[in-house]
Structure 1
Amino acid sequence: MPGRGSCEFNCHRMRSNLNIFYERKRTIKDEKLIYASLYLERQPEPPVEDENDGKVEFSGDSLFFMNQPVNVKSWRPHEGRKRSSFGNEHYTADKKPSRFCRFLLLVFRVHCATFGHPISLEIISCRRVTITWHVQVLVLKVESDPKIASKFFAWAGKQKGFRHNFASYNAFAYCLNRLNRFRSADQVIELMNLQGKRPSEKQFEILIRMHSDKGRGIRVWYVYQKMRKFGVKARVFLYNRVMDALVKTGHLDLAMSVYGDFRADGLVEESMTFMILVKGLCREGRVGEVFELLGRMRGLGFKPDVFAYTAMVRVLVSVGDLEGCLRVWEEMVGSDGVEPDAMAYTTLVTALCRGGVVERGFQLFREMKGRGFLIDRAVYGSLVEGFVADGKVGSACDVLRDLMASGYRADLSIYNSLIEGLCNANQIDKACKLFHVTVREGLNPDFTTVNPILLFYADRRLMDEFSRMLEHMQKLGLPVINDLSKFFLSFIEKGNGGKKALEVFEDLKPKGYASVVIYNILIESLHTVGEVKEALSLFEGMKSSDFKPDLSTYSNVIPCFVENGDLEEACWCYNMMTERSWVPSVSAYRSLVGRLCKIGEIDAALMLVRDCLSNVESGPMEFKYSLTILHACKSGDSEKVIEVLNEMAEQECPPGDLTYSAVISGMCNHGTIEEARKVFESIRRRSFLSEADVIVYDEFLLEHMKKKTAGLVLSGLKFFGLESKLRSKGSTLLPG
């Protein structure tokens, strides 16, 4: 058996070499007990069973607690063995706060309310422990309270023998930014300057990077201005970072001013500098300035490659500037002689087809094909969509043949575009054949596939073919009822609303193709085209069927009842909704309020206004201003009400019946008839009211004042108990 000195590790010997002691330290009275083991970060790991020889294997940290010798004979260098995770664990342990750091955090949290001397006593009681910048950085790295972090930073700077260094300030800035106190993090620069540390470029770079990562362009500009104020000369890299952040957040003019400072400092642009500004100019559509920058770029010996030009084209495509795309393309091919690649062709062809310039896109497509590029299927799809939108179905079919000849298989979107184009060209037979092709090829046709065919049949009243298509859809497992609601929406959008859509529905209803959603769509459509009686008739038929009206039904029907002069039924629908805790639509509220104002029911109208504003997220402006007028009337001064009316005119919200009703109600409650008449006279001078309208609203004013006066009299009689005496004397004026 080998001796311990040659083949075994001695645990006591290893401890002595690493200077780790576990003996208790002698302490003075009332001094805290400190164990050196408190600062030992690594803990013993459980033994790991080796898969090869079945013996126990210990990791690196477990060597501190080994009590068995290591057998060298069991070492097999030619066999694979799991590497010890000592390195990773060592790295993780270094990143964790030490126990002293955790002790500091605990002390600061306990004494955060009484910061100062108590904390000093706690830490001074730990002998031979001093604050280092490593400890400070670790504390700031894990602290989650910005107040405690700030107090700790200030306290550490006052300790004997310690001064903040750049790492301390950087950690403090990172901590504040992590805790969403980025404005305070910007002030660390001034703090450094006050404490005698001249900020360097690195501190500004940290702040700029933090703001740019969060998309705070204005804060980047603020830090940049501060950097210029301190006279710090930035490198090209930092200038690029600032300009990129400003361009990405939509502050191109600020980025161009930074570029002016860049050139004034005598720095030389990099290719990245030009590309940042070029992308920003392309996004703003300033193509002329783009070419100026490209000329300056060539003067410095830089030549934009195909990737740079493709990036410019993509930016111009995203803002819809097709003319700028073509100018950049001509610059690439003509001036610089750059050969476009497949990606550049694909980007421009797709944009031209979607922008309605399909002929130019097709020319580039043929040029691309002539150069032998591999054409993506998306390019074929864009060409098909473009030709269909342009009404050239034959050219779209030629593209489909070319697609199949190239070895591709058309996807569902291409077939959908062709079916729509064939239906628009009255070639319904070919459209149906393509639909059956999608079924045979297992492409799972959806509503977008069959909708053009359904629209064709419904427009020509071919209801038998329409029903057969619905049966085919059911066999394919499509949700027919849900798709029919989408069909009626698209049918109405194509100008077939009103009676034509109603006729199609009447043909489908006996076959069971009906739903509450379809009823609501048709009622709203009939009301939109002015067929109010037809809409109400459809509503009555819905109530007599198995379908029950829902929230949308009542919201659509209330304006119909109001326009038909049946206010009682409209109020009944509103009461039904309130009983079920439903919130009517804004149009329903408007119709009810407008009608109540016209018949003089001002209190009921204002009650509906308050109900609407309390239930709807964004109510109508006239509703909000009516309550503002009521509040202004509390002063009893007509001038304040006129100021509100002036504000309404500035906000392009002309006064209406509700506004006049609010003036009447407010002045009757808090003002006088004379003040109300001054308001109406001011409105008449602005030509919002005619002489006849002023007379009508003056009658409303007098009538409403009588109601309010009568109400006050009755309330007084009830309060003093005189109501029963008047009735005993035979008075018939009191309400029963």
Structure 2
Amino acid sequence: RAARATASRPPAGGSTMREAMASFVAKLTFREMCVVLREQRGWRQAHDFFSWMKLQLCYEPSVVAYTILLRAYGNASKIELAEEAFLEMLEAGVEPDAVACGTLLCVYARRGRHGDMMLFYAATRRRGVAPPVSAFNFMLSSLQKHRLHGKVIHLWKHMMEMEEANNVVPNHFTYTVVIGSFVKAGLLEEAMDVLGKMRASRLVPEEATYSCLISLSSRHGRGEQVVMLYEEMRAHGIVPSNYTCASLLALYDKSEDYSKALSLFSEMERSRVVIDEVIYGILIRIYGKIGLYDDAQRTFEEIVSAGLLSDEQTYVAMAQVHMNARNYDKALQVLGLMRSRNVKPSKFSYGALLRCHVAREDIAAAEDVFRALCKYGLPDVFCCNDLLRLYVKLGQLEKASAFILKMRKEDIQLDEALCMTVMEVCCKSGMITDADKILKEMNNGGVTMKSSTMVSIIEMYARNRTSVMQEQDSSSKALACQTDSSALNATLKSLLDTPGGSSIACQLIRKLAREGRTCEAKFLHEQLTQLGVKPEDSATSTLIVQYGQEQKLHQAEELFESASTSFPIRGPVYNAMVDALCKCGNIGEAYHLFMKMADQGHSRDVVTISILVTHLTKHGKFQEVENIMHGCFHGEVELDTVAYNTFIKSMLESGKLYSAVNIYDRMISTGVPRSLQTFNIMIRS
């Protein structure tokens, strides 16, 4: 009491304390003096009393006394005095222990002197002193408050190294702080590892800890982990916060697990979790996606009546629900309500407004909104694509072309969808040069596209280039089109680099050929060949057959010749050429090609055999038919019912009834089923 009483007197150096303690000289033991020192409430009284202590005969330098003094200075944020006391302790030959070092570390941490704190911490480590957990907690907390999460993680790793050797055991507070910093740093796996250590210590995390882990897991798309954390939290009897519930609802919304989302909302109501506007907004979105438009409208009206409506995203969510239901006027009403309530619009709401006007096909309004969007900087690719698609839909190709030039001038980076639309406009408008440049930029920029997108672009590109070549066959522009295909080749290469890319390209050639678009099919066939890729036989044969149907024998022969020169050809291509020759009336050449194919050991297609035999029969070339027939029998070609019927009919027309009967008997013996036509042919004979 006597020492404390000096606090009410004006400071007069140590004389006041010496006067107050005069009657206690030689009466207190060292331990009792330490107790008195600890009981001093102010740093000045502690300082003066310690000075008096050092004058007593029973005083001897001790780490206990210095630690008490350090704590007093630290509580008053007197860092300089604390440092002086620590140096004095060292000069007195007193070895600082873990508590003394931890006390000074806490002093630094309290004042945010993290540089000095880490330097002193490094010094304690060199001396082999491990601060207590309380000191670590103080340091970790201070670092985290100043958002120095990297240093928190660094310090945590040191703790783990000391845990076994120095008995530095993390407690609940330690785990909470460290998990929080790992989450802030976006290190999900490391945060979950710390949670595992916390569980092993039989410590139950707080709701805030679960909440931040759930939020980070959700952002990483770890749906199962989110559910596991939530169920674990509920098993501990912890009531989730609205922030935690919002993270879960957003995850269910993203994964389209709407039943779980609605179940969670019901659970929130039972647990009396405060439902804020963010949760209501997510709920409105979910109602809209599952077609519960009335429920979405009712929820929106509840927010309005409760006075909770203030967030732009809630208005946009409701507007999007109306747009999904094609109620564009109602969507505009909601967005108009937002403006009337002085909710400041952003690119987010302007984007929704643009989509609404695009859906209503109101070009003027859409352009006005787009201009407003531009005030916030470069519009995103989705908005650009929406407006461009509107121009294309309404046939405004001039505006679309001008818009593309503007996008290129402002260096807007195209994504997959926007690139598709741009290429469509370029192809429809004849902007070949721009199409080339855009394709090259997309390929050089490393933009990844789905195979289906690349196929669509290649198809549009091929269609446009071939039409230009047909219309301007003799112009220099056509020559440029024929010679500069580097952009298309780059896209083709990208497609070929994907799994199954070659088959996809050949599938496109077959599709174009069957649709009668032989120019585009041939163009792509040539591009593949130039890239050193052998088109599949089915692609080459389909195109040759189509040429035959169109009576374009010269083109079929050119393709057959180029295919033979570039790569070894097999049976399907030979069969297709035979078919084309037959359809174009060149029966003799068809026969010779068929026999050449047979001599080379290629497979003979039964359909081609039937077609060739039919044409030979019509032209009275029965000896050739017999040659084919004997070749098939000796070569053990598997003939079908139609082929046998064709052979029988040919032999009957040539007057060789005995041969026809032999063929019929062979048909029975080989187990080939007979059709009604087979019996009709034999009866007529």
Q: What TM-score does the superposition give when structure 1 sets the normalisation length?
A: 0.40
More helix by share: 2
CA radius of gyration, larger in? 2
Q: What TM-score does the superposition give when structure 2 sets the normalisation length?
A: 0.42
